[in-house]
A = this chain, B = another copy of it.
Amino acid sequence: METLENIVYDDLHVGDTASFTRSLTEDELVLFAAVSGDVNPVHLDADFAADSMFKERIAHGMWSGSLISAALATVMPGPGTIYLEQSLSFKRPVKLDDTLTVKLSVVSKERKNRVTIACDVVNQHDQTVVSGEAKVIAPTERLSLPRPRLPRITIESFDSEQHED
């Protein structure tokens, strides 16, 4: 059974790294639009996006941000982490079938279990798409949890009939 494990404050060291990888499919475009309410057609409408400066549909910038938060919450430090702050600088668009890797690196440890972590999100060409810095309270209690299973999510077929004319 897959587990989620954390790294407690005392076991984190400056320079420690971790990573987390996900790919962008049409599902992410639809689900992120649904969960955030950001239905901008540059993410959803292939025809509209073809005429945009990006020439094709792109990911919501904050989707890359959500991958950073997932990396912090599930990999390093992992479960029990309290999220305090995040900065994000959006560098480059993310396109369908791009594979993003969140690279985390411990920058400093402070009082009261605070940790500052550099966050870089790179695509499959090793180009940075988002960079930023997180401040968290690292957990102090070791946890090893069964990884929750998600209910099945079904998205109706994504046709080109995106808007009424």
A77 nearest CB across to chain B (Å)? 11
Judge whether A98 is part of the interface by a CB distance below 8 angstroms.
no
Q: Are A35 and B63 in contact (CB under 8 A)?
A: yes
CB-CB under 8 A from A16, the residues of chain B are none
> Which one of B44, B65, B154 contacts A148 once the chains associate, using CB atoms below 8 Å?
B44
Q: Are A155 and B163 in contact (CB under 8 A)?
A: no
Judge whether A66 is part of the interface by a CB distance below 8 angstroms.
yes
Q: How far is the CA of A65 from the CA of B30 in the complex (A)?
A: 17
> Which one of B31, B67, B68, B146 contacts A34 once the chains associate, using CB atoms below 8 Å?
B31
- Which of chain A's residues 44-87 have a Cβ closer than 8 Å to chain B? 44-45, 48, 60-63, 65-70, 73-74, 79, 83-87
> Which one of B69, B89, B152 contacts A61 once the chains associate, using CB atoms below 8 Å?
B69
CB-CB under 8 A from A61, the residues of chain B are 69, 83, 86
- Which of chain A's residues 6-33 have a Cβ closer than 8 Å to chain B? 20, 22, 27-28, 30-33
Contacts A1-B164, A66-B60 given; indicate if A35 touches B32 (C-beta within 8 A). Answer: yes
Judge whether A38 is part of the interface by a CB distance below 8 angstroms.
yes
A48 nearest CB across to chain B (Å)? 7
